[in-house]
Structure 1
Amino acid sequence: MNNFQGSIPALFSKGNSLRYFNFNGNQLGGQIPPSIANCKNLEVLDIGNNKIDDTFPVFVETLTQLQVLVLRSNKLHGFLKGATANYSFSKLRIVDMSSNSLSGTLPLDYFSSLEAMIVPDQNIGYIGENMTANTYQYSVHMTWKGWGIDLIAIQTILTIIDFSANKFIGNIPWSIGKLESLKQLNLSHNYLNVFRVSHNQLEGRIPLGKQLDTFDSSSYEGNSELCGFPLKKACNDGERQPITPLKDVSESENGFGWKAVLTGYVCGFVFGVTMGYLVFRIRKPIWFVKMVEEAVLLIKNSTAAPFFQHNMEMSLTRLQPSHNPVKKLKSIPLPDKPCEIFAILARIFILFCLVSSISLIFYTTFFPQTHSLHFPAPKRTAPEPKPEHEFGPTNISHILFGIGGSAATWNDRSRYSSLWWDAKKTRGFVWLDEIPGDKNNSFRISAPPYRLSSPEWTRFKFSSSRSAVRIARIISDSFKLNLPDVRWFVMGDDDTVYFTDNLVSVLAKYDHHRMWYIGGNSESVEQDVMHTYGMAFGGGGFAISYPLAEKLVKILDGCLDRYYYFYGSDERIWACISEIGVPLTREQGFHQFDIRGSAYGLLAAHPVAPLVSLHHLDYVDSLFPYKNQMDSFKSLNRAYQLDPPRILQQTHCHDKNRKWSISIAWGFTVQLYRLLLPAKDLQTPLLTFKTWRSWSAGPFTFNTQPMKSNPCELPVVLCWSRLRKWARVGP
């Protein structure tokens, strides 16, 4: 170990022969230089125990010879990126990313690509021994079963995965079970909630612990030599077994079946009748006996009895007299005292109880019961709590960006994404058709990470733009990542610039539990007529709530085949959402920027709405004079950072003494007219731009006013060059 400080220099040229890179145990900070991807022969990359502050270096997947990757004990954050290229991590044998702040779910495809851990290596050798000079072997510092060790030589049969002490959540991917040659797996000190090691050759007692005790027996099935809780197989080592959790109790366990229920009811009824007989026999309590006797006497002397008898005789006139049931009823002597009634009932039911008991004894003796009616005890499980992320205000972590790009454009357009992307806060990916080249890496370091679109898009029909199908399926690719805490999917192009604070404030107005399709139209009427006013134009970006995305993904592939003749991806998405029945909710802050020329007039009279996005910045003049577009946007962004909601918001006032009219677009420009103008004129954009397709003077989806030919009627234009924030002291 040394004590190097600073950052790792980005000096790795193409075609170098570097095989072993070890800076473990220093004070290096900054980010991991993407130029390491030029080291195509690299076998060991060990920069553990430093102060690297970066996201997972997705570019290392292009190092096809890499066998050892150690990034432990740094300040890595964000989501673990799965494999996106062919043969990614195919030779990786040791990967240690423990003690960082990596979060999200463990990607399924990451573990599926670890081919060296899937197929057991029958030949015992050492990593690095195939070099020209066999006198040098690689070494690495590792944690083995809780102990820090220095491996002076790394055997090829040693396979280790250590993701411990991070912030991973969700399920442990089933693909880990395919790693047959894996010698050590450490996922401890995370927030994982599903564990499965079924169908292996594990043996011995299952360890106990607060988290391990929550897994059921299915997590361990297929391991015949395992024993202990939660398996039924007991261990013979004399250790105490934990108390088995409560479960449903059947008749075979408590003897509480239909026979016991029936016997209880019968005996209870007999007991009640017997007690009634005794009450009237000893005539206590007196008040109860008198009450019953008076009721019986009242019924006996009632006038209803002759009436009932008369009606019965009338309805039975067709019967023979000898068969008249009313006359037979008269011949039956009825007891006059209640105690006699109860005495008769008691005799009848005592006889019934005796017969029933004897029958049950014979039935149980000669017909053993195999299936019984029983009343299972209710399951004693606590109600499943609702996830906390379902409630509370929406923030930037609830948004997953899906940016459509291509390898041909990403190297250049990543400069725009780098202006608004914050790796510590924002989540999402740029979806490309293939791995991009190494140009302009300085921008791509701070831009969103990229992933390759799933290859299914190539099978769909198309009429004019094949890439539109791939970009339309970004919502499906993003949804299937199954990332946690996602409320909104925000789509856009690789040259779309977002103002994320304002985006959050706009989406926070809507209930993310409902289906929402939010975006804006084109500024040019000709574009809206050619496509549709009901569509959110994709360049300006649009947002889809999670419930809508869930339904959209189910029908998307079939829908894309139906609408193969559409030109763009956004029009395909609109058509599919229309089938679900969700209309577009328009927000004026999404800007497609389907305009040519100078956007000054539009931005100087921005509608009263938060600025959410800008697009097509390469097709309009620089926003600020005497600056290129990148510097112009940086100037606008500095004002935005000071007060995000107010950026471009218009304020106007009048100086009646000087007869001036003043319009201010905060953070952008001030217009001073040397005449008094009504508010409606100040709020109407100056026509400094043309339409997108025909380069004409309109029409647009908003009113405009032409530039005056008289210089006295034109405003004096001032542009913001510097802003600062200060605190007011005193009243």
Structure 2
Amino acid sequence: MPSHLCHLAHLQLLNLALNQISRSIPKFLNNITALTQKLSSSTTITHVYIEILGMTLYSIIYDDQALWTWKGSEHEYKNILGLLKSIDLSSNKLTGTIPQEIIELVELISLNLSRNHLFGQIVSNIGALQFLDFLDLSKNQLSGRIPFSLSHIDRLSVLDLSNNNLSGKIPTSPQLDTFNASSYEGNPNLCGAPLPKKCLGEGIAQNPAMNRRREHASMQDKKEGFISLEFYVSLALRFIAGFWGFVGTLLLNMSLRVAYFRFLNNFKDRFYVAIEVNMARFHCVGPLCFHCVKVV
């Protein structure tokens, strides 16, 4: 690609697609003033005339117009031709990296570098191209992460980064979320919506409130489990201490043991007598009832 093209300061439409152009993209694209500075739109009606000695020999009036492939179809631009600023270098044999100077082309509306052999990373501050409506970097060998600054381009309506070697999580924004998986497919190490491949730990990042509740519930379960275990251990120790404290005292103290068993015998006799009296009262009938109770 000849570098002297970069000296065409008023160049707005550069289309070298479907050729055999090789080597790298020139770094001096920022010399094209029409793509780097906000200029007034070109006049759509132009007067061309030749005047000699006060006499007009030739005069013509024409309208600016051009046929331009835009978003996959060809359109004729006329009245707004001055606003259309585009670079299309697709379907060539370009190699090397995307030059950093390309971010100075702030007036670009369309940039198509697809179907080449470009490698390296996408320019990190590509978000500086705020007027970009069409961006196609597909079918290259680009690697690294998708720059987060890409999410700052609010006007972007067509995006194709497919079939590269991009990796990491796809940035999210109200604008980028409108693109489907076809814009990113063909990058094996790329993850996140809208691709079906989820990033590691994406579930935690997507719903932090839910995960906090789950962590709290898990800690609560562990706490409750610890209290229950402590309760049962304490209960067992109390039972053992009480049982052996009582039985050990009886085994070691003879008089206390005799008194205890005498108490049990007396309690057993009284309990038996009480049961018999109650049974007799229940079965006595008529005039013999008082006598029966008295005898017992």
TM-score of the two chains, using structure 2 as the length reference: 0.50
The structure with more helix, counted as a fraction of residues: 2
The structure with more strand, counted as a fraction of residues: 2
Q: RCO greater where, 1 or 2, for CA within 8 Å and sep 6 or more?
A: 2
TM-score of the two chains, using structure 1 as the length reference: 0.22
Higher Cα Rg, which structure: 2
